[in-house]
Structure 1
Amino acid sequence: RAPARRPPEGRRRAASFRACGIGIVRALRLQWIDPDPTDEPAVNPSPTARTSLGTLRGAAEGEVLVFRGVPYAAPPVGPLRFQPPRPATPWTGELDATRDGPIPPQPPSRLRAAMGDFERPQSEDCLTLTITTPAADGARRPVMVFLHGGAFWTGAGSLSWYGGGPLARHGDVVVVGVNHRLGALGFMHLPGVAEPNLGLHDQIAALDWVAAEIAAFGGDPDNVTVFGQSAGGLSVLAMLGIPKARARFRRAVVQSAPFGRMLRSRADAAAIGAAMQRELGLADAAGWTDVPVERITAAQLVVARSMAGFANTAPPFIPVADHVLLGDDVIGAAVAGAMERDLIVGFTRDEMAAFFAPVPEMATAPDAAVRGVFARHFGGAADEALAEYRQRARLPGPGGLLGEMLGDASFAGGLWAFAERMAALGRPVRAYRFDFAAPGNPFGACHCIELPFCFGTLADWSAPMLAGADPEAAAALAARMRDAWAAFARDGDPTHAGLPDWPAHGESGETMLFDATSRVVHDPAGRRRWRFWP
């Protein structure tokens, strides 16, 4: 395993980050500590990589080389809107890969209050990769392909939040961030207009590209790890169950996958697609390719609001059981696929807090409304479950109570059941829970809190969820988690010198708890809680 080396001074990219509505982001920006300073420059300030499509010219950023805006498929514009990805067109000369391409068209994120915000140019011409490598040479380094979160309608793999520099430097790995279609453009189903799951088809096309071309960037196409968070974690589960996708990687990390919000049926998805068509005033399929993309993203918000309800966070455009890529039992297919793969699964302690705590009506929600949500989930056991969760809720008010329960319903319960199912089949996975919570963060160890740590990109975040964190403790935790992810990508074992031995999740519920002091615990959530879940 490559010796750990220290990153250069935190880079700043051209993104313009805005203070979020609660007005504390810039005021609370922390000076993150990098524990092992060095001024070592990259060897080649203007690197090139020769692919089968043409030559790319990237840029040196400290000790790593970065290739941005790398096309892995043809732009899905004009007649290719709502079509499966087509191969990218070869080019002559050198393609400038020193600047990010546009991010996919999207509305603002629902988690701005926790994560902060970003501004980037948007375009349908978005099917690109960001590739970070120690060297574009003949070495065969482990490859880590990241699938971002954002409820399948926001986010981008090219954001500096997910920069691959620290992982590449310290772990001697190649990191690939994927941009794919989102929202209606990537996940709408409307017969005669759009087949479902185009965003998943994009992800598979990206994996195909990595298999064919990553050797030019110093990567090993036979040692690929796919890791994803939230919607990206659900995408990883989907990839495990799709044979042609699973063939492209050896290992997987599933972070905070929304098990409780898995799929729509074709019929339900088509009804949402029809609502989009009505909102846009289209009589039939003929006008869809001519609609300005801004109108499509605006219509998405209208349709989403029409579907919203109390304590309902389900986005409108998610993967569909199309019986082409996905069947009705995505989890069963993922379990079968995971029998042949190394796997880490995990979640954060307070997954749903940032979805509910900032919502004003949650602070004054009547008991009857809260009980109604419990009744929908637990039926006749609602009162018993409500009493149990009142005892366990860490955050105050109805929002804290519902966040605790729905965090289990949407994330923790399913991930836990998946880990135990794999253990029962004799193919145990490694499990984690992320508990670190900054003292100025009102959302606890919320959804997305682990991302700056597993990437080691604390300096690229100006997020309320990190407010007040001790810089030394945060930097130490980031080093432990980042190195665990890189070690796992190398040989399937995330244990390293800075982390306690990380056993597989077995009958005792062995789980790595990532916190200021990381340690292995047994059954951290308490199996008593899971008796309420089928």
Structure 2
Amino acid sequence: MTSHQNMGTHTFHTPFGKIVALKQNGVIKAKSIRYAHSERYKMPVPIQPSDSEIVFREKTPVCPQVISPLLERLIEKTDLEKFEVDESPLFLSITRPENFTDEKLPVVVWIHGGSYEVGCGDLPTSDPEIWVKEQRLIVVSVSYRLGLFGFLGGDEKRPANLGLFDIIEALRWIKANIGSFGGNSENITLFGQSSGGDAIAHLMISEDVEHLFQRVIIHSAPLGFRHKRQKMSAELFRKTEYLKDETDVLKMMEEYGQHLPSVMKYGLKASMPFCLQYGYPPLCKEEESLSKWKHNAKKYDVLIGLNNDETAFYVKTAEEGMYTYLHSSILDKIVRATTRFIYEKPAHIFAENYAQGGGNIYLFTIHSKIRHNHIGASHCVDLPLIFGNEEAWKSAQLLKGVPWEYIHENGKKLRALWAEFARKGNISDDSERPEILELRKI
């Protein structure tokens, strides 16, 4: 099935229906397939198969959200023209190589980050086209409810963890349909960054996920923020009660920000006001979580890790506020201490606990080896390495002073290692490692 023109379409015949996809640059993309529908504060309902053709949308559906000026400055400006706000953003996109034999390809499911509050599955900065072509795998990008709609709950009228239920529904869809796209439904790896990684860690101990995935890749999960959140969540839940039936979602977005918990009162975790909530379906109580991970350790292969200077992104680029006037050596100490607390120590605890349960687990750290790179290996620096989309990343402040050639060389090796893990659940000692990577089996 080779195409001689640069762009065309291809129709996939699936149990779900006929899905029209875009053929370009050596890949086929089936964009914005609705896998489920949701009403406000209700469980997702899977979409039934259809007889009519399912055609991709012009604009990418995205959950209502407040644009983050920090992310825009460091990563990319949001082109609002390309997105369509949808309170039920339960869509997924599939990217696979264009040239295809009868092989069954490994499947990677991308769960985006954004503090459970911003982002969507289908952004130029996480376009998997290069990875898919280089490593011959299928990448499925999933969008789900965020913020007030997906990750704040506390009673039957507004249940907790709805966004997690959305992701589980997407995984069921993938399991049932990915074979029609050439994917191996018995070889599915979940890959998430930041809150996406946190969600994946918790999917490993969720109810009703048996056989939906075999491996996980967890980047920069803020596992240090998962503890003792109950009081903070209850406060935000109470204070936003009056917004629950608001029909104007933009008003909801504008107003909830006035009620966010204070860092002074709740500590650093208040910087991530939305999160998964223990003690509500599909999760166990907080105090049961470590033993549950240990108990499930033989079920999933795990690759977990972080960037060495995760919080530099926030500490060293604050335009105003408490950090601006501090000496760089003090800033470095703040970065080290906060990175250790939020990301590093919890990842080590997770890995040791999992290994004790007999699990197959690798732990990694990504370093910056460039001398004059002010913010080093900060939060999100792994994204251009894995997705390699130069067009989307070339003007990002995050990579200021870092030549793209350096990102490309290291990224190509990293993509090969992560694809090796996705194919077979381990990484050979002989596989070439990028100089920025420290990796060990626990």
**What is the aligned length?**
430
2:29 matches 1:96: no
Please tell me whether the aligned partners of residues 197 and 218 of structure 2 are also in contact (alpha carbons under 8 angstroms). yes
Indicate whether 1:337 and 2:307 are aligned.
no
1:68 paired residue number: 31
Matches of 1:127 and 1:56 in 2, distance apart? Answer: 16
Change (3 A) 1:475 1:152: same
1:124 equivalent in structure 2: 87
Q: Alpha carbons of 1:245 and 1:316: their partners in 2 closer, same or farther (altered >3 Å)? A: same
1:85 alignment partner in structure 2: 44
User: Larger C-alpha radius of gyration, 1 or 2?
Assistant: 1
Aligned to 1:294: 250
The match for 2:164 is 200
Gapped runs of 5+ residues in structure 2?
A: none
Gap change, CA 1:42 and 1:424, over 3 Å in 2: farther
Q: CA deviation at 1:365?
A: 7.4
> Which amino acid is 1:70 matched to?
I
Question: Which AA in structure 2 matches 1:58?
Answer: A
CA distance in 2, matches of 1:522, 1:50: 41
Please list the CA deviations of residues 217-259 of structure 1 after superposition, one character each: whole Å capped at 9, or x if unmatched: 1101110000111101101100111242252111111111111
Q: Is the 1:186–1:198 contact (alpha carbons within 8 Å) kept by the matching residues of 2?
A: yes
The answer (yes or no) to whether the contact 1:265–1:322 under 8 Å persists in 2 is no
Tell me if 1:307 matches 2:270.
no
Superposition deviation, residue 331 in structure 1: 3.6
Mapped to 1, the partners of 2:152 and 2:339 lie a distance apart of 26
Q: Is 1:231 matched with 2:195?
A: yes
AA of the residue aligned to 1:62: N
| Aligned mate of 2:122, from 158, 179, 189 | 158
> What aligned pairs does 1:397-476 form with structure 2 within 5 A after superposition?
398-436=330-368, 441-461=373-393, 462-476=395-409
SS in 1 for 2:180: helix
Q: Work out the CA distance in 2 between the residues paired with 1:519 and 1:258.
A: 19
What TM-score, normalized by structure 2, do the two folds share? 0.89
* Deviations 1:154-184, CA, capped at 9 Å, x for gaps: 1111112111212211111110000000001
TM-score by length of 1: 0.74
Q: 1:164 to 1:40 in 2, by over 3 A?
A: same
Q: Which amino acid aligns with 1:167?
A: W
Percent of aligned positions with the same letter in both sequences? Answer: 25
Shift of 1:499: 1.2
CA RMSD of aligned residues (A): 2.8
Q: What is the letter of the counterpart of residue 467 of structure 1?
A: K
* Counterpart residue identity of residue 341, structure 2: A
- Is this contact kept in 2: 1:480–1:499, CA < 8 A? yes
Aligned CA distance change for structure 1 residues 42 and 206 (closer, same or farther; 3 Å): farther
Q: Is structure 2 residue 105 aligned with structure 1 residue 141? A: yes
Question: In 2, Cα distance between the equivalents of 1:319 and 1:487?
Answer: 30
Q: Quote the offset at 1:440 in angstroms.
A: 6.6
Would the aligned equivalents of 2:363 and 2:440 in 1 still touch at CA under 8 Å? no
SS in 2 for 1:47: strand
CA distance in 2, matches of 1:483, 1:44: 27
Aligned to 1:59: 22
- Residue 489 of structure 1 aligns with an amino acid whose one-letter code is A
SS in 2 for 1:490: helix
Cα distance in 2, alignment partners of residues 104 and 356 from structure 1: 28
Question: What residue number does 1:320 align with?
Answer: 277
- 2:118 is paired with a residue whose SS is coil
CA contact (8 A) 1:42 1:65 kept: no
- Residues 377-425 of structure 1, C-alpha deviations (whole Å, 9 max, x = no match): xxxxxxxxxxxxxxxxxx8254432221111110011111222233344
In structure 1, runs of 5+ residues without a counterpart are: 1-38, 281-287, 367-394, 501-513, 524-534
Aligned to 2:412: 479
The match for 1:351 among 307, 310, 331 is 310
Q: Evaluate the alpha carbon distance shift between residue 428 and residue 88 of structure 1 in structure 2; reply closer, same or farther with a 3 A threshold.
A: closer
